[in-house]
């Protein structure tokens, strides 16, 4: 059972799987923005020409409202509140996903040990002062220094 859980953890936390999951969630949230924009702005503009029922809160300046009852006038306005709400929901979703992925990345690095960086300096065999690993001559005693094993 431990082996199965370990394999599942490795699979689920791979970059491709996480990217796909984030893409699906963000795509769903963005679809809500597009739907709200269409319902709040595009449909009322189209309906002002043909006439249909779309709720809202701003009266369209090019529509003649004389002789219309209150319910019909309400359906001929722009409903920007739903659009703003969808944008806010999208931003909240994106922030939560960002924090979730950042936390998961932090958890993935907790168990791993950091690799030690290669040393940048070494001791001169003649004067025992610190010199660069790449140095072929000591700047202090001007002795020729053999390259390290890594440089050979």
Residues 6+ away with beta carbon under 8 Å from 134: 151
Q: Count the domains in the chain.
A: 2
Asked if residue 6 and residue 77 are part of one domain, the reply reads yes
Asked if residue 129 and residue 73 are part of one domain, the reply reads no
Asked if residue 14 and residue 46 are part of one domain, the reply reads yes
CA distances in angstroms from 131 to 124, 141, 149, listed in the order given: 6, 11, 16
Domain, as residue range, for 128: 118-152
**pLDDT value at residue 52:** 45
Asked if residue 72 and residue 15 are part of one domain, the reply reads yes
Asked if residue 129 and residue 100 are part of one domain, the reply reads no
In order along its 152 residues, the chain shows pLDDT tens digits of: 888 888 887 777 777 777 888 889 898 888 988 888 888 777 777 666 655 444 444 555 555 556 666 666 555 566 777 788 888 889 999 899 899 888 887 877 777 777 777 788 888 888 888 888 888 888 888 888 887 666 55
């Amino acid at each position: 059972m431990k082996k199965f859980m370990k394999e599942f953890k490795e699979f689920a936390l791979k970059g491709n799987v996480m990217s796909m999951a984030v893409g699906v969630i963000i795509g769903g949230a963005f679809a809500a923005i597009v739907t709200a924009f269409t319902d709040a702005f595009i449909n009322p503009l189209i309906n002002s020409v043909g006439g249909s029922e779309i709720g809202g809160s701003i009266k369209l300046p090019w529509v003649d409202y004389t002789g219309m009852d209150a319910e019909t006038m309400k359906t001929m306005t722009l409903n920007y509140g739903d659009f703003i709400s969808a944008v806010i929901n999208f931003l909240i979703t994106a922030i939560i996903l960002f924090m979730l992925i950042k936390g998961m990345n932090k958890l993935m690095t907790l168990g791993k040990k950091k690799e030690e960086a290669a040393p940048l300096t070494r001791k001169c065999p003649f004067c025992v002062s610190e010199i660069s690993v790449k140095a072929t001559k000591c700047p202090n005693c001007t002795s020729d220094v053999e390259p390290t094993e890594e440089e050979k």
